[in-house]
């Protein structure tokens, strides 16, 4: 299939979400409850936040992107602004809060698995009125996540839908979602953990994921593209489901793989590719991401992705 499924091809992508500072500690294994472990590498400090990562991912893959976010106003906020500036994302939709910036503490083990705790800071201050003046056009794509207030995501999704844009929601971290938001979402992109939380159903097997995805459809979203780690992604619609296996790679840090996937997905859609081909682009972007430490180095350009795939 090579049709433009949802959109007039080549329109703009809006990302509404968080920008954060990531403190990443790599150790042989993740600490157990109450345990202290020593890191095996120097602390890695860099930009993050699911919104920032997805916006950078989109830009690196060569698509036009506008990013609506809120930074802090103190030291970490100034760092976040510098990171936005360096990536060409310090546009008119970037607001500033009196609080300090979002921060994430990330533990990664030697198989690349992670644990993340996010202190939202300024991201919690991104209010519905901060996204009310976004001018969506028919055919645009809105990509949002849940590190900002749900009322803000809902406002953006309703406005985008009313303007004829396609709404893609990466429901991370998972949280109960109001009906108004669920009904405005064209494509939801949970990972298996988020899908389980959103539906209250198990997602241990691909078959479980399909059943839980069908439940999410009943709750109001248009389609589900569920990511299932190294196994790739499953596209679930009312007409059936299709699996898209990922590439086999040696993972060093899975942080941001979902963000890279979402960026690839919406860039494929904006280029007029079929949803299946867009999911494959997302899979390739996610696979590249897990081969790098930290998110920023894991967000590839199209050329990097081509070389990466050819090298496997
Ligand atoms: O998805 C990865 C991101 O989640 C990290 O960059 C961290 O900031 C958290 O928001």
* Catalytic, out of 125, 159, 186, 259: 259
Q: Is residue 102 in a domain? A: no
Q: Is residue 220 in a domain? A: yes
Ranges of residues in the chain with a pLDDT under 50 are 1-10
Q: Give the separation between CA 24 and CA 218, rounded to whole angstroms.
A: 38
Instruction: State residue 6's pLDDT score.
Output: 43
Q: Give the separation between CA 141 and CA 206, rounded to whole angstroms.
A: 28
Residue 139 CA to ligand 1 centre (angstroms): 28
Residue with tokens 């682009």: 281
Residue 256 CA to ligand 1 centre (angstroms): 6
Q: Residue 195 is part of which domain span?
A: 50-70+128-311
Q: Report whether residue 116 contacts ligand 1, using a CB cutoff of 6 Å.
A: yes
Residue 245: CATH number of its domain: 3.40.1190.20
Question: Which atom of ligand 1 is found nearest the CA of 257?
Answer: 1
Instruction: State residue 1's pLDDT score.
Output: 33
Secondary structure, 3-state, the chain = CCCCCCCCCCCCEEEECCCEEEEEEECCCCCCCCCCCCCCCCCEEEEECHHHHHHHHHHHCCCCEEEEEEECCCHHHHHHHHHHHHCCCCCCCEEECCCCCEEEEEEECCCCCEEEEEECHHHHHCCHHHHCCCCCCCCCEEEECCCCCHHHHHHHHHHHHHCCCEEEECCCCCCCCCHHHHHHCCEECCEHHHHHHHHCCCCCCHHHHHHHHHHHHHHCCCEEEEECHHHCEEEEECCEEEEECCCCCCCCCCCCHHHHHHHHHHHHHHCCCCHHHHHHHHHHHHHHHCCCCCCHHHCCCHHHHHHHHHHC
| Number of domain units in the chain | 1
Distance of CA 215 to the CA centre of its chain: 22
Q: Is residue 305 in a domain? A: yes
Q: Is residue 45 in a domain? A: no
Instruction: State residue 294's pLDDT score.
Output: 85
Residue whose CB lies within 8 A of the most ligand 1 atoms, among 22, 101, 253, for a mutation test: 22
Q: Is residue 62 in a domain? A: yes
Q: Report whether residue 256 contacts ligand 1, using a CB cutoff of 6 Å.
A: yes
Q: Is the peptide bond before 248 cis (omega within 30 degrees of 0)?
A: no
Residue 259 CA to ligand 1 centre (angstroms): 8
Instruction: State residue 230's pLDDT score.
Output: 87
Q: Give the separation between CA 234 and CA 202, rounded to whole angstroms.
A: 15
Beta pairing class for 233-237 and 187-188: unpaired
Q: Is residue 116 in a domain? A: no
Residue whose CB lies within 8 A of the most ligand 1 atoms, among 44, 46, 193, 295, for a mutation test: 295
Q: Is residue 9 in a domain? A: no
Q: Report whether residue 48 contacts ligand 1, using a CB cutoff of 6 Å.
A: yes
Nearest CA to ligand 1 atom 8: 49
Residue whose CB lies within 8 A of the most ligand 1 atoms, among 15, 21, 23, 49, for a mutation test: 49
Q: Report whether residue 259 contacts ligand 1, using a CB cutoff of 6 Å.
A: yes
Instruction: State residue 128's pLDDT score.
Output: 98
Q: Report whether residue 20 contacts ligand 1, using a CB cutoff of 6 Å.
A: yes
Catalytic residue flag (residue 259): yes
Q: Report whether residue 147 contacts ligand 1, using a CB cutoff of 6 Å.
A: yes
Residue 51 CA to ligand 1 centre (angstroms): 8
Residue 50 CA to ligand 1 centre (angstroms): 5
Q: Is residue 122 in a domain? A: no
């Amino acid at each position: 299939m090579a049709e433009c499924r949802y959109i007039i091809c080549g329109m703009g992508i809006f990302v509404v979400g968080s920008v954060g500072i990531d403190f990443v500690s790599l150790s042989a294994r993740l600490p157990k409850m109450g345990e202290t472990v020593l890191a095996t590498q120097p602390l890695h400090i860099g930009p993050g936040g699911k919104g920032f990562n997805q916006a950078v991912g989109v830009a690196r893959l060569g698509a036009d992107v506008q990013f609506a976010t809120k930074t802090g106003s103190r030291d970490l906020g100034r760092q976040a602004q510098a990171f936005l500036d360096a990536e060409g994302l310090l546009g008119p939709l970037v607001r500033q809060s009196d609080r300090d910036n979002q921060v994430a503490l990330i533990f990664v083990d030697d198989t690349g698995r992670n644990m993340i705790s996010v202190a939202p800071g300024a991201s919690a201050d991104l209010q519905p009125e901060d996204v009310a003046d976004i001018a969506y056009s028919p055919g645009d794509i809105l990509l949002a996540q849940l590190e900002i207030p749900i009322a803000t995501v809902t406002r953006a999704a309703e406005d985008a839908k009313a303007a004829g844009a396609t709404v893609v929601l990466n429901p991370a971290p998972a949280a109960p979602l109001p009906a108004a938001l669920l009904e405005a979402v064209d494509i939801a992109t949970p990972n298996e953990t988020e899908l389980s939380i959103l539906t209250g159903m198990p997602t241990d097997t691909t078959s479980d994921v399909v059943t839980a995805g069908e439940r999410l459809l009943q709750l109001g979203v248009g389609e589900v593209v569920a990511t299932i780690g190294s196994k790739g992604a499953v596209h679930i619609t009312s007409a059936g489901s299709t699996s898209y296996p990922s590439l086999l790679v040696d993972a060093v840090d899975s942080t941001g793989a979902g963000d890279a996937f979402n960026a690839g997905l919406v860039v494929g859609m904006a280029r007029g590719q079929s949803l299946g081909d867009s999911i494959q682009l997302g899979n390739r972007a996610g696979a590249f991401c897990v081969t790098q430490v930290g998110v920023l180095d894991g967000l590839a350009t199209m050329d990097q992705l081509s070389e990466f795939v050819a090298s496997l």
